[in-house]
Amino acid sequence: MKRVALLGMPNTGKSTLFNRISGASARVGNWPGITVDLMSAKILLGGYIAELVDLPGIYDLHGFSDDEQVVRRFLAHNEVDLVILVLNTTQIDRQLSLALQVRTLGLPVMLMLNMADEARRSGISVNTEAMSRQLGMPVATLSAKYGEGFPQALQLAAQTMQAAEQHPAPAEVQARLDTVTKIEQEMESIVKESVQIPVQLTDALTARLDKTLLHPWLGLPIFFIALFLLFQFIFTLGTPLQDAVAWALELGRTSLLDPLMASWPHWLSGLLLDGIYNGVGTVAAFVPLIILFFFVMTMVEDSGYLSRAAFLMDAFMARLGLDGRGFVMVLMGFGCNVPALMGTRVMRNRASRLLTMLVIPFSLCSARLQVFLFMTAVLFTPQQAPVVLFGMYLMSFAITFLSALLFKRHFKSSEPFILELPPYRFPTPRQILLRGWQEVGHFLHRASKFIIAGVVLVWVLTHYPVDAQSSLDTYAGMIGHFLSPVLTPIGIDDHLSIALIFGFVAKEVVVGSLAVIYGQQGDALTQLMAAQLDWVKGVSFMLFTLIYTPCLATIATLKTESRSRAFMWLSIGWSLSLAWIVSFVFYQGARALGF
Protein backbone atom coordinates (compact mmCIF):
# COMPACT_ATOMS: atom_id res chain seq x y z
CA MET A 1 0.00 0.00 0.00
CA LYS A 2 1.25 3.48 -0.87
CA ARG A 3 1.78 6.12 1.79
CA VAL A 4 1.06 9.82 1.25
CA ALA A 5 2.14 12.45 3.80
CA LEU A 6 0.07 15.65 4.00
CA LEU A 7 2.37 18.44 5.11
CA GLY A 8 1.93 22.20 5.45
CA MET A 9 2.18 25.31 7.55
CA PRO A 10 -0.43 26.19 10.22
CA ASN A 11 -3.55 28.01 9.00
CA THR A 12 -3.12 26.89 5.40
CA GLY A 13 -6.32 24.81 5.32
CA LYS A 14 -4.44 21.52 5.57
CA SER A 15 -7.03 19.97 7.88
CA THR A 16 -9.84 21.12 5.60
CA LEU A 17 -8.10 19.46 2.66
CA PHE A 18 -7.54 16.29 4.67
CA ASN A 19 -11.24 16.16 5.57
CA ARG A 20 -12.25 16.72 1.94
CA ILE A 21 -9.97 13.93 0.71
CA SER A 22 -10.71 11.45 3.48
CA GLY A 23 -14.40 12.16 4.09
CA ALA A 24 -15.46 10.44 7.31
CA SER A 25 -12.91 7.62 7.13
CA ALA A 26 -10.20 9.23 9.24
CA ARG A 27 -8.76 7.34 12.19
CA VAL A 28 -6.02 7.84 14.78
CA GLY A 29 -3.02 5.53 14.76
CA ASN A 30 0.50 5.04 16.03
CA TRP A 31 3.53 5.37 13.76
CA PRO A 32 7.09 4.10 14.14
CA GLY A 33 9.61 6.55 15.52
CA ILE A 34 7.18 9.01 17.10
CA THR A 35 5.44 9.12 20.48
CA VAL A 36 2.15 10.73 19.43
CA ASP A 37 -0.84 9.61 17.39
CA LEU A 38 -1.56 10.99 13.92
CA MET A 39 -4.75 11.13 11.88
CA SER A 40 -4.76 8.92 8.80
CA ALA A 41 -7.23 7.57 6.25
CA LYS A 42 -7.23 5.02 3.46
CA ILE A 43 -8.00 6.65 0.09
CA LEU A 44 -7.99 5.66 -3.58
CA LEU A 45 -5.32 7.61 -5.46
CA GLY A 46 -4.39 6.86 -9.06
CA GLY A 47 -5.62 3.28 -8.88
CA TYR A 48 -3.71 2.60 -5.66
CA ILE A 49 -5.00 2.17 -2.12
CA ALA A 50 -3.00 4.78 -0.23
CA GLU A 51 -2.64 5.70 3.43
CA LEU A 52 -3.03 9.48 3.76
CA VAL A 53 -1.31 10.74 6.93
CA ASP A 54 -2.05 14.22 8.30
CA LEU A 55 1.20 15.57 9.79
CA PRO A 56 1.30 18.50 12.26
CA GLY A 57 1.45 22.01 10.82
CA ILE A 58 5.02 23.34 10.86
CA TYR A 59 6.86 26.44 9.68
CA ASP A 60 10.11 24.73 8.72
CA LEU A 61 12.05 21.47 8.98
CA HIS A 62 14.76 22.73 11.32
CA GLY A 63 13.30 20.68 14.16
CA PHE A 64 13.30 23.22 16.98
CA SER A 65 9.68 22.76 18.06
CA ASP A 66 8.03 19.47 19.07
CA ASP A 67 5.76 19.51 16.01
CA GLU A 68 8.77 19.88 13.72
CA GLN A 69 10.40 16.96 15.52
CA VAL A 70 7.27 14.84 14.93
CA VAL A 71 7.43 15.55 11.17
CA ARG A 72 11.16 14.88 10.97
CA ARG A 73 10.84 11.58 12.84
CA PHE A 74 7.91 10.46 10.72
CA LEU A 75 9.83 11.10 7.49
CA ALA A 76 12.96 9.48 8.93
CA HIS A 77 11.24 6.29 10.10
CA ASN A 78 8.53 5.64 7.48
CA GLU A 79 8.54 4.94 3.75
CA VAL A 80 6.75 7.83 2.00
CA ASP A 81 5.64 7.54 -1.64
CA LEU A 82 4.37 11.11 -1.98
CA VAL A 83 4.43 14.35 0.00
CA ILE A 84 1.49 16.68 -0.62
CA LEU A 85 2.65 20.09 0.54
CA VAL A 86 -0.13 22.59 1.33
CA LEU A 87 0.65 26.32 1.40
CA ASN A 88 -1.51 29.45 1.60
CA THR A 89 -1.54 31.22 -1.77
CA THR A 90 -2.12 34.62 -0.15
CA GLN A 91 1.11 34.21 1.86
CA ILE A 92 3.18 32.36 -0.72
CA ASP A 93 6.05 34.85 -0.50
CA ARG A 94 6.56 33.90 3.16
CA GLN A 95 5.73 30.20 2.97
CA LEU A 96 7.66 29.05 -0.07
CA SER A 97 10.73 28.39 2.09
CA LEU A 98 9.08 25.19 3.36
CA ALA A 99 8.67 23.93 -0.22
CA LEU A 100 12.37 24.50 -0.87
CA GLN A 101 13.29 22.65 2.32
CA VAL A 102 11.04 19.69 1.48
CA ARG A 103 12.50 19.57 -2.03
CA THR A 104 15.98 18.90 -0.61
CA LEU A 105 14.72 15.60 0.87
CA GLY A 106 14.51 13.99 -2.58
CA LEU A 107 11.01 12.62 -1.98
CA PRO A 108 8.25 12.84 -4.62
CA VAL A 109 6.53 16.15 -3.78
CA MET A 110 3.47 17.90 -5.13
CA LEU A 111 2.67 21.49 -4.08
CA MET A 112 -0.97 22.45 -3.52
CA LEU A 113 -1.53 26.20 -3.22
CA ASN A 114 -4.70 26.46 -1.17
CA MET A 115 -7.11 29.38 -0.65
CA ALA A 116 -7.03 30.28 -4.33
CA ASP A 117 -10.39 32.06 -3.87
CA GLU A 118 -8.93 34.46 -1.28
CA ALA A 119 -5.83 35.02 -3.41
CA ARG A 120 -8.02 35.94 -6.38
CA ARG A 121 -9.96 38.48 -4.30
CA SER A 122 -6.65 39.97 -3.12
CA GLY A 123 -5.36 40.35 -6.67
CA ILE A 124 -2.69 37.63 -6.35
CA SER A 125 -2.04 35.46 -9.39
CA VAL A 126 0.35 32.54 -9.62
CA ASN A 127 1.98 31.20 -12.78
CA THR A 128 1.93 27.56 -11.74
CA GLU A 129 3.96 26.45 -14.78
CA ALA A 130 6.79 28.88 -14.02
CA MET A 131 6.75 27.96 -10.32
CA SER A 132 6.68 24.26 -11.14
CA ARG A 133 9.62 24.63 -13.48
CA GLN A 134 11.74 26.49 -10.91
CA LEU A 135 10.79 24.28 -7.99
CA GLY A 136 11.10 21.04 -9.89
CA MET A 137 7.75 19.77 -8.59
CA PRO A 138 4.13 19.84 -9.82
CA VAL A 139 2.12 22.85 -8.61
CA ALA A 140 -1.66 23.25 -8.50
CA THR A 141 -3.98 25.90 -7.08
CA LEU A 142 -7.22 25.00 -5.33
CA SER A 143 -9.73 25.97 -2.67
CA ALA A 144 -10.17 23.12 -0.20
CA LYS A 145 -13.03 25.03 1.40
CA TYR A 146 -15.20 25.14 -1.72
CA GLY A 147 -13.66 22.26 -3.70
CA GLU A 148 -12.48 24.55 -6.51
CA GLY A 149 -9.65 22.88 -8.45
CA PHE A 150 -9.75 19.91 -6.10
CA PRO A 151 -10.30 17.09 -8.66
CA GLN A 152 -7.51 18.42 -10.91
CA ALA A 153 -5.10 18.77 -7.99
CA LEU A 154 -5.85 15.23 -6.79
CA GLN A 155 -5.33 13.88 -10.33
CA LEU A 156 -1.97 15.68 -10.52
CA ALA A 157 -1.00 14.16 -7.16
CA ALA A 158 -1.82 10.69 -8.47
CA GLN A 159 0.28 11.27 -11.60
CA THR A 160 3.18 12.50 -9.46
CA MET A 161 3.08 9.39 -7.30
CA GLN A 162 2.85 7.08 -10.33
CA ALA A 163 5.74 8.82 -12.11
CA ALA A 164 8.09 8.44 -9.16
CA GLU A 165 10.16 5.39 -10.07
CA GLN A 166 12.14 5.39 -6.84
CA HIS A 167 12.63 7.56 -3.80
CA PRO A 168 15.19 7.73 -0.98
CA ALA A 169 14.98 5.39 1.99
CA PRO A 170 14.15 6.86 5.39
CA ALA A 171 17.80 6.73 6.45
CA GLU A 172 18.77 8.87 3.46
CA VAL A 173 15.91 11.27 4.21
CA GLN A 174 17.27 11.59 7.76
CA ALA A 175 20.70 12.52 6.41
CA ARG A 176 19.19 15.18 4.17
CA LEU A 177 17.08 16.53 7.01
CA ASP A 178 20.26 17.13 8.94
CA THR A 179 21.61 19.34 6.13
CA VAL A 180 18.55 21.60 5.73
CA THR A 181 19.73 25.24 5.76
CA LYS A 182 18.23 28.66 5.18
CA ILE A 183 17.17 29.26 1.56
CA GLU A 184 15.46 32.66 1.65
CA GLN A 185 17.48 34.02 -1.28
CA GLU A 186 16.30 31.32 -3.66
CA MET A 187 12.75 31.75 -2.40
CA GLU A 188 12.79 35.47 -3.18
CA SER A 189 14.00 34.74 -6.71
CA ILE A 190 11.19 32.28 -7.38
CA VAL A 191 8.51 34.58 -5.97
CA LYS A 192 9.82 37.53 -7.97
CA GLU A 193 9.60 35.63 -11.27
CA SER A 194 6.34 33.69 -10.85
CA VAL A 195 4.04 35.57 -8.42
CA GLN A 196 2.31 38.91 -8.92
CA ILE A 197 1.35 40.55 -5.61
CA PRO A 198 -0.29 44.00 -5.37
CA VAL A 199 1.68 46.67 -3.56
CA GLN A 200 -0.79 46.50 -0.69
CA LEU A 201 -3.19 43.69 0.05
CA THR A 202 -6.55 44.98 1.24
CA ASP A 203 -9.47 43.23 2.80
CA ALA A 204 -12.00 45.88 3.69
CA LEU A 205 -14.25 43.59 5.71
CA THR A 206 -11.41 42.16 7.80
CA ALA A 207 -10.07 45.66 8.44
CA ARG A 208 -13.47 46.97 9.54
CA LEU A 209 -14.09 44.01 11.83
CA ASP A 210 -10.62 44.18 13.37
CA LYS A 211 -11.02 47.87 14.06
CA THR A 212 -13.80 46.94 16.50
CA LEU A 213 -12.94 43.39 17.62
CA LEU A 214 -9.28 44.21 18.28
CA HIS A 215 -10.02 47.48 20.04
CA PRO A 216 -7.71 47.72 23.07
CA TRP A 217 -10.62 48.46 25.45
CA LEU A 218 -13.66 46.98 23.73
CA GLY A 219 -12.09 43.82 22.28
CA LEU A 220 -12.19 41.62 25.39
CA PRO A 221 -15.69 42.68 26.58
CA ILE A 222 -16.99 41.94 23.07
CA PHE A 223 -15.34 38.51 23.16
CA PHE A 224 -16.94 37.53 26.47
CA ILE A 225 -20.32 38.96 25.43
CA ALA A 226 -20.12 36.89 22.24
CA LEU A 227 -19.28 33.83 24.33
CA PHE A 228 -22.31 34.42 26.55
CA LEU A 229 -24.61 34.88 23.53
CA LEU A 230 -23.35 31.59 22.11
CA PHE A 231 -24.32 29.80 25.33
CA GLN A 232 -27.72 31.52 25.27
CA PHE A 233 -28.22 30.32 21.70
CA ILE A 234 -27.22 26.75 22.60
CA PHE A 235 -29.63 26.64 25.54
CA THR A 236 -32.50 28.27 23.65
CA LEU A 237 -32.27 25.87 20.72
CA GLY A 238 -31.09 22.80 22.62
CA THR A 239 -33.48 22.70 25.59
CA PRO A 240 -36.56 21.67 23.52
CA LEU A 241 -34.46 18.98 21.81
CA GLN A 242 -33.23 17.76 25.19
CA ASP A 243 -36.80 17.60 26.52
CA ALA A 244 -37.92 15.66 23.44
CA VAL A 245 -35.17 13.05 23.86
CA ALA A 246 -35.91 12.69 27.58
CA TRP A 247 -39.64 12.28 26.84
CA ALA A 248 -38.94 9.61 24.22
CA LEU A 249 -36.64 7.69 26.58
CA GLU A 250 -39.17 7.79 29.43
CA LEU A 251 -41.96 6.69 27.08
CA GLY A 252 -39.81 3.81 25.84
CA ARG A 253 -39.27 2.59 29.38
CA THR A 254 -42.85 2.86 30.64
CA SER A 255 -44.52 1.58 27.46
CA LEU A 256 -42.08 -1.09 26.33
CA LEU A 257 -39.29 -2.06 28.72
CA ASP A 258 -41.16 -2.11 32.06
CA PRO A 259 -43.90 -4.49 30.79
CA LEU A 260 -41.34 -6.59 28.92
CA MET A 261 -39.10 -7.13 31.97
CA ALA A 262 -41.84 -7.39 34.60
CA SER A 263 -41.37 -11.15 34.94
CA TRP A 264 -37.57 -11.08 34.80
CA PRO A 265 -35.46 -11.65 37.94
CA HIS A 266 -35.46 -8.53 40.09
CA TRP A 267 -31.68 -8.14 40.08
CA LEU A 268 -31.49 -8.42 36.28
CA SER A 269 -34.31 -5.98 35.52
CA GLY A 270 -32.90 -3.61 38.11
CA LEU A 271 -29.44 -3.74 36.56
CA LEU A 272 -30.75 -3.22 33.03
CA LEU A 273 -33.40 -0.58 33.80
CA ASP A 274 -32.30 1.26 36.94
CA GLY A 275 -28.63 0.82 36.10
CA ILE A 276 -27.82 0.85 32.41
CA TYR A 277 -31.00 2.35 30.91
CA ASN A 278 -31.40 5.14 33.47
CA GLY A 279 -27.69 5.99 33.46
CA VAL A 280 -27.11 5.93 29.73
CA GLY A 281 -30.53 7.49 29.02
CA THR A 282 -29.86 10.46 31.27
CA VAL A 283 -26.59 11.11 29.45
CA ALA A 284 -28.25 10.64 26.05
CA ALA A 285 -30.79 13.36 26.84
CA PHE A 286 -27.97 15.91 26.84
CA VAL A 287 -26.40 14.82 23.56
CA PRO A 288 -28.37 17.44 21.52
CA LEU A 289 -26.84 20.21 23.62
CA ILE A 290 -23.37 18.69 23.23
CA ILE A 291 -23.84 18.47 19.44
CA LEU A 292 -24.94 22.10 19.24
CA PHE A 293 -21.96 23.14 21.35
CA PHE A 294 -19.48 21.45 19.03
CA PHE A 295 -21.10 22.79 15.86
CA VAL A 296 -21.08 26.35 17.23
CA MET A 297 -17.46 26.10 18.43
CA THR A 298 -16.46 24.72 15.02
CA MET A 299 -17.81 27.88 13.39
CA VAL A 300 -15.97 30.07 15.90
CA GLU A 301 -12.66 28.22 15.50
CA ASP A 302 -12.76 28.25 11.69
CA SER A 303 -13.81 31.90 11.50
CA GLY A 304 -10.41 33.21 12.60
CA TYR A 305 -11.82 34.87 15.72
CA LEU A 306 -9.90 32.71 18.21
CA SER A 307 -6.61 34.03 16.82
CA ARG A 308 -7.87 37.53 17.61
CA ALA A 309 -8.77 36.42 21.13
CA ALA A 310 -5.21 35.15 21.58
CA PHE A 311 -3.82 38.45 20.31
CA LEU A 312 -6.03 40.42 22.70
CA MET A 313 -5.07 38.26 25.66
CA ASP A 314 -1.32 38.17 25.02
CA ALA A 315 -0.41 41.26 27.06
CA PHE A 316 -2.47 40.04 30.02
CA MET A 317 -1.22 36.46 29.71
CA ALA A 318 2.39 37.68 29.64
CA ARG A 319 1.92 39.00 33.18
CA LEU A 320 0.93 35.47 34.19
CA GLY A 321 3.98 33.88 32.58
CA LEU A 322 1.99 32.68 29.54
CA ASP A 323 1.30 34.07 26.08
CA GLY A 324 -1.57 34.25 23.60
CA ARG A 325 -0.97 30.68 22.45
CA GLY A 326 -1.63 29.51 25.99
CA PHE A 327 -4.99 31.26 25.87
CA VAL A 328 -5.81 29.50 22.60
CA MET A 329 -4.90 26.15 24.19
CA VAL A 330 -7.21 26.94 27.11
CA LEU A 331 -10.00 27.69 24.64
CA MET A 332 -9.27 24.42 22.85
CA GLY A 333 -9.68 22.72 26.22
CA PHE A 334 -13.35 23.73 26.15
CA GLY A 335 -13.84 20.86 23.74
CA CYS A 336 -11.48 18.36 25.37
CA ASN A 337 -8.41 18.81 27.55
CA VAL A 338 -6.49 16.01 25.81
CA PRO A 339 -5.99 17.60 22.33
CA ALA A 340 -5.38 20.96 24.01
CA LEU A 341 -2.51 19.45 26.01
CA MET A 342 -1.11 17.86 22.85
CA GLY A 343 -1.41 21.23 21.07
CA THR A 344 1.18 22.75 23.40
CA ARG A 345 3.86 21.10 21.27
CA VAL A 346 3.92 24.25 19.13
CA MET A 347 5.64 25.99 22.06
CA ARG A 348 9.39 25.66 21.72
CA ASN A 349 10.19 26.58 25.32
CA ARG A 350 9.67 23.77 27.83
CA ALA A 351 8.88 26.07 30.76
CA SER A 352 6.13 27.78 28.78
CA ARG A 353 4.75 24.38 27.76
CA LEU A 354 4.66 23.07 31.32
CA LEU A 355 2.93 26.14 32.71
CA THR A 356 0.34 26.01 29.94
CA MET A 357 -0.19 22.28 30.53
CA LEU A 358 -0.67 22.92 34.25
CA VAL A 359 -3.60 25.30 33.65
CA ILE A 360 -5.33 23.57 30.70
CA PRO A 361 -7.10 20.97 32.91
CA PHE A 362 -9.08 23.85 34.45
CA SER A 363 -10.77 24.47 31.08
CA LEU A 364 -14.46 23.63 31.20
CA CYS A 365 -14.37 20.65 28.83
CA SER A 366 -17.41 19.10 27.13
CA ALA A 367 -17.62 16.31 29.73
CA ARG A 368 -17.88 18.84 32.57
CA LEU A 369 -20.31 20.83 30.44
CA GLN A 370 -22.64 17.84 30.47
CA VAL A 371 -22.61 17.82 34.30
CA PHE A 372 -23.32 21.55 34.47
CA LEU A 373 -26.12 21.36 31.91
CA PHE A 374 -27.75 18.72 34.08
CA MET A 375 -27.28 20.54 37.40
CA THR A 376 -28.49 23.88 36.06
CA ALA A 377 -31.59 22.16 34.64
CA VAL A 378 -32.27 20.66 38.09
CA LEU A 379 -31.73 23.80 40.20
CA PHE A 380 -32.37 26.83 38.00
CA THR A 381 -34.96 28.22 35.59
CA PRO A 382 -34.30 28.32 31.83
CA GLN A 383 -33.63 32.05 32.20
CA GLN A 384 -31.12 31.57 35.03
CA ALA A 385 -29.31 28.54 33.61
CA PRO A 386 -27.28 30.35 30.87
CA VAL A 387 -26.14 32.94 33.43
CA VAL A 388 -24.99 30.21 35.84
CA LEU A 389 -23.21 28.33 33.05
CA PHE A 390 -21.52 31.52 31.88
CA GLY A 391 -20.42 32.04 35.48
CA MET A 392 -18.79 28.59 35.44
CA TYR A 393 -16.83 29.57 32.34
CA LEU A 394 -15.72 32.81 34.00
CA MET A 395 -14.65 30.79 37.06
CA SER A 396 -12.72 28.48 34.74
CA PHE A 397 -10.80 31.48 33.40
CA ALA A 398 -10.27 32.87 36.91
CA ILE A 399 -8.83 29.59 38.24
CA THR A 400 -6.63 29.31 35.15
CA PHE A 401 -5.24 32.81 35.61
CA LEU A 402 -4.74 32.34 39.36
CA SER A 403 -2.82 29.09 38.87
CA ALA A 404 -0.59 30.64 36.20
CA LEU A 405 0.14 33.62 38.45
CA LEU A 406 1.07 31.41 41.39
CA PHE A 407 3.34 29.08 39.42
CA LYS A 408 4.92 31.45 36.88
CA ARG A 409 8.09 31.82 38.97
CA HIS A 410 8.66 28.07 38.75
CA PHE A 411 8.20 27.98 34.96
CA LYS A 412 9.93 31.07 33.59
CA SER A 413 9.98 31.59 29.83
CA SER A 414 11.41 34.32 27.59
CA GLU A 415 10.18 32.94 24.26
CA PRO A 416 8.66 35.67 22.02
CA PHE A 417 5.05 35.33 20.92
CA ILE A 418 4.47 35.25 17.15
CA LEU A 419 0.96 34.76 15.75
CA GLU A 420 -0.50 35.21 12.28
CA LEU A 421 -3.99 36.68 12.09
CA PRO A 422 -5.83 34.93 9.24
CA PRO A 423 -8.61 36.76 7.41
CA TYR A 424 -12.11 36.19 8.70
CA ARG A 425 -13.74 33.20 7.05
CA PHE A 426 -17.19 31.74 7.43
CA PRO A 427 -16.92 27.95 7.12
CA THR A 428 -19.15 26.20 4.64
CA PRO A 429 -22.04 24.04 5.90
CA ARG A 430 -20.11 20.96 4.79
CA GLN A 431 -17.09 22.02 6.87
CA ILE A 432 -19.27 22.67 9.91
CA LEU A 433 -21.08 19.34 9.64
CA LEU A 434 -17.99 17.26 8.89
CA ARG A 435 -15.72 18.74 11.53
CA GLY A 436 -18.48 19.11 14.09
CA TRP A 437 -19.52 15.51 13.60
CA GLN A 438 -15.92 14.35 14.02
CA GLU A 439 -15.80 16.15 17.39
CA VAL A 440 -19.17 14.69 18.40
CA GLY A 441 -18.07 11.22 17.31
CA HIS A 442 -14.88 11.54 19.32
CA PHE A 443 -16.87 12.62 22.37
CA LEU A 444 -19.41 9.80 22.02
CA HIS A 445 -16.64 7.24 21.48
CA ARG A 446 -14.85 8.35 24.65
CA ALA A 447 -18.08 8.58 26.61
CA SER A 448 -19.36 5.17 25.56
CA LYS A 449 -16.18 3.50 26.80
CA PHE A 450 -16.79 4.69 30.37
CA ILE A 451 -20.50 5.30 30.86
CA ILE A 452 -21.83 1.74 30.65
CA ALA A 453 -19.06 0.31 32.82
CA GLY A 454 -19.42 3.22 35.21
CA VAL A 455 -23.19 3.01 35.71
CA VAL A 456 -23.03 -0.77 36.15
CA LEU A 457 -20.40 -0.38 38.87
CA VAL A 458 -22.43 2.39 40.53
CA TRP A 459 -25.51 0.15 40.51
CA VAL A 460 -23.53 -2.64 42.16
CA LEU A 461 -22.20 -0.29 44.82
CA THR A 462 -25.67 1.07 45.58
CA HIS A 463 -27.42 -2.35 45.70
CA TYR A 464 -24.88 -4.60 47.42
CA PRO A 465 -24.32 -6.31 49.73
CA VAL A 466 -27.71 -7.96 49.31
CA ASP A 467 -28.43 -7.94 53.05
CA ALA A 468 -28.06 -4.14 53.32
CA GLN A 469 -30.92 -2.72 55.44
CA SER A 470 -30.62 0.82 54.06
CA SER A 471 -28.60 2.82 51.55
CA LEU A 472 -26.09 3.61 54.30
CA ASP A 473 -25.26 -0.10 54.59
CA THR A 474 -24.39 -0.50 50.88
CA TYR A 475 -20.85 -0.24 49.57
CA ALA A 476 -21.68 3.21 48.23
CA GLY A 477 -22.97 4.26 51.64
CA MET A 478 -19.79 3.04 53.29
CA ILE A 479 -17.64 5.02 50.84
CA GLY A 480 -19.77 8.12 51.30
CA HIS A 481 -19.54 7.81 55.09
CA PHE A 482 -15.75 7.45 54.87
CA LEU A 483 -15.46 10.66 52.79
CA SER A 484 -18.02 12.68 54.72
CA PRO A 485 -15.51 14.42 57.06
CA VAL A 486 -13.81 15.92 53.99
CA LEU A 487 -16.82 16.60 51.74
CA THR A 488 -19.56 17.59 54.23
CA PRO A 489 -17.90 21.00 54.95
CA ILE A 490 -18.30 21.87 51.26
CA GLY A 491 -21.94 20.74 51.03
CA ILE A 492 -21.39 17.47 49.16
CA ASP A 493 -23.46 14.61 50.59
CA ASP A 494 -22.98 10.85 50.30
CA HIS A 495 -24.88 10.62 46.99
CA LEU A 496 -22.85 13.33 45.28
CA SER A 497 -19.57 12.00 46.71
CA ILE A 498 -20.08 8.68 44.88
CA ALA A 499 -20.61 10.57 41.61
CA LEU A 500 -17.39 12.52 42.20
CA ILE A 501 -15.43 9.32 42.71
CA PHE A 502 -16.49 8.06 39.30
CA GLY A 503 -15.70 11.47 37.87
CA PHE A 504 -12.04 10.62 38.53
CA VAL A 505 -12.32 8.05 35.74
CA ALA A 506 -14.31 10.19 33.32
CA LYS A 507 -16.57 13.19 33.89
CA GLU A 508 -19.00 11.66 31.40
CA VAL A 509 -19.93 9.07 34.04
CA VAL A 510 -21.08 11.64 36.63
CA VAL A 511 -24.57 12.34 35.22
CA GLY A 512 -25.27 8.68 34.49
CA SER A 513 -24.14 7.70 37.99
CA LEU A 514 -26.53 10.23 39.54
CA ALA A 515 -29.44 8.58 37.73
CA VAL A 516 -28.39 5.21 39.14
CA ILE A 517 -27.68 6.52 42.64
CA TYR A 518 -31.10 8.19 42.93
CA GLY A 519 -32.83 5.38 41.02
CA GLN A 520 -34.72 7.76 38.71
CA GLN A 521 -34.44 9.35 35.28
CA GLY A 522 -35.91 12.26 33.36
CA ASP A 523 -38.36 14.54 35.18
CA ALA A 524 -38.55 12.18 38.16
CA LEU A 525 -34.80 12.45 38.72
CA THR A 526 -34.90 16.24 38.32
CA GLN A 527 -37.72 16.63 40.84
CA LEU A 528 -36.11 14.30 43.37
CA MET A 529 -32.74 16.04 43.24
CA ALA A 530 -34.36 19.49 43.36
CA ALA A 531 -36.14 18.43 46.55
CA GLN A 532 -32.94 17.18 48.21
CA LEU A 533 -30.52 19.88 47.03
CA ASP A 534 -30.60 23.65 47.21
CA TRP A 535 -28.76 25.94 44.84
CA VAL A 536 -25.86 26.50 47.26
CA LYS A 537 -25.07 22.77 47.44
CA GLY A 538 -25.51 22.46 43.69
CA VAL A 539 -23.13 25.31 42.86
CA SER A 540 -20.57 24.01 45.38
CA PHE A 541 -20.74 20.60 43.68
CA MET A 542 -20.29 22.24 40.26
CA LEU A 543 -17.30 24.26 41.47
CA PHE A 544 -15.63 21.15 42.83
CA THR A 545 -16.36 19.26 39.59
CA LEU A 546 -14.92 22.14 37.56
CA ILE A 547 -11.62 22.29 39.41
CA TYR A 548 -10.80 18.87 40.86
CA THR A 549 -8.67 16.18 39.24
CA PRO A 550 -9.30 15.78 35.50
CA CYS A 551 -10.20 12.46 33.89
CA LEU A 552 -7.73 9.58 33.56
CA ALA A 553 -7.18 10.31 29.85
CA THR A 554 -6.08 13.87 30.70
CA ILE A 555 -3.81 12.63 33.50
CA ALA A 556 -2.19 10.10 31.15
CA THR A 557 -1.67 12.82 28.52
CA LEU A 558 -0.14 15.12 31.14
CA LYS A 559 2.41 12.48 32.02
CA THR A 560 3.16 11.62 28.38
CA GLU A 561 3.51 15.19 27.16
CA SER A 562 5.49 16.45 30.17
CA ARG A 563 7.61 13.28 30.42
CA SER A 564 7.52 13.83 34.18
CA ARG A 565 5.68 11.82 36.80
CA ALA A 566 6.40 14.57 39.35
CA PHE A 567 4.68 17.16 37.15
CA MET A 568 1.64 14.90 36.80
CA TRP A 569 1.33 14.56 40.60
CA LEU A 570 1.80 18.31 40.99
CA SER A 571 -1.19 18.88 38.69
CA ILE A 572 -3.35 16.33 40.53
CA GLY A 573 -2.47 17.63 44.00
CA TRP A 574 -2.94 21.28 43.09
CA SER A 575 -6.33 20.74 41.42
CA LEU A 576 -7.69 18.69 44.34
CA SER A 577 -6.50 21.19 46.94
CA LEU A 578 -7.78 24.19 45.01
CA ALA A 579 -11.15 22.53 44.35
CA TRP A 580 -11.73 21.94 48.06
CA ILE A 581 -10.64 25.45 49.06
CA VAL A 582 -12.85 27.21 46.49
CA SER A 583 -15.90 25.06 47.29
CA PHE A 584 -15.33 25.51 51.04
CA VAL A 585 -15.10 29.31 50.77
CA PHE A 586 -18.21 29.46 48.57
CA TYR A 587 -20.36 27.06 50.60
CA GLN A 588 -19.48 28.34 54.06
CA GLY A 589 -19.64 31.94 52.86
CA ALA A 590 -23.10 31.44 51.35
CA ARG A 591 -24.37 29.76 54.51
CA ALA A 592 -22.92 32.53 56.67
CA LEU A 593 -24.87 35.06 54.59
CA GLY A 594 -28.07 33.15 55.23
CA PHE A 595 -28.54 31.37 51.90
Q: Are both 261 and 157 inside the same structural domain?
A: no
The tens place of each residue's pLDDT in the chain, 595 residues long, gives 899 999 998 878 888 888 888 875 555 554 444 445 678 888 888 888 899 998 888 888 876 666 778 888 898 888 999 999 999 998 888 888 899 889 988 899 999 999 998 888 878 899 999 999 999 999 999 998 888 999 999 999 999 998 887 778 888 888 877 776 555 556 667 777 787 766 544 567 777 888 888 888 888 888 878 877 876 787 778 778 877 887 888 888 889 998 999 889 888 888 888 778 876 776 677 677 667 777 777 777 777 787 787 778 777 777 888 877 777 778 777 777 876 787 676 666 788 889 999 999 999 887 788 889 889 988 998 888 889 999 999 999 999 999 999 998 888 766 555 566 777 777 778 777 776 677 666 666 655 666 677 777 777 887 788 777 666 678 877 888 888 899 999 999 888 888 888 787 778 778 877 887 787 777 788 888 888 899 999 999 999 999 998 877 788 778 878 888 899 999 999 999 999 999 999 999 999 999 8
- Judging by beta carbons within 10 Å of its beta carbon (0-12, 13-18, 19+), is residue 1 exposed, middle or buried? exposed
Domain that holds residue 178: 2-196
Phi then psi for residue 390, to 5 deg, are: -60, -35
Q: What is the DSSP string of 445-501?
A: HHHHHHHHHHHHHHHHHHH-STT-SSGGGSHHHHHHHHHHHHHGGGT--HHHHHHHH
Q: Are both 532 and 497 inside the same structural domain?
A: yes
Q: Are both 327 and 473 inside the same structural domain?
A: yes
**Within a domain: residue 322?**
yes
Q: What is the DSSP string of 99-136?
A: HHHHHTTTS-EEEEEE-HHHHHHTT-EE-HHHHHHHHT
Q: Are both 224 and 356 inside the same structural domain?
A: yes
Q: Are both 159 and 288 inside the same structural domain?
A: no
Please state the three-class secondary structure of 132-154 as a single string: HHHHCCCEEECECCCCECHHHHH
Q: Are both 490 and 560 inside the same structural domain?
A: yes
Q: What is the largest CA-CA distance in the chain?
A: 87
Q: Are both 382 and 348 inside the same structural domain?
A: yes
Which residue among 163, 196, 229 closes a domain? 196
Q: Are both 259 and 303 inside the same structural domain?
A: yes
Q: Are both 138 and 228 inside the same structural domain?
A: no
Q: Are both 256 and 120 inside the same structural domain?
A: no
Q: What is the pLDDT of residue 348?
A: 61
Q: What is the CATH number of the domain that holds 166?
A: 3.40.50.300
**Within a domain: residue 516?**
yes
* Count: domains in the chain: 2
Phi then psi for residue 536, to 5 deg, are: -65, -45
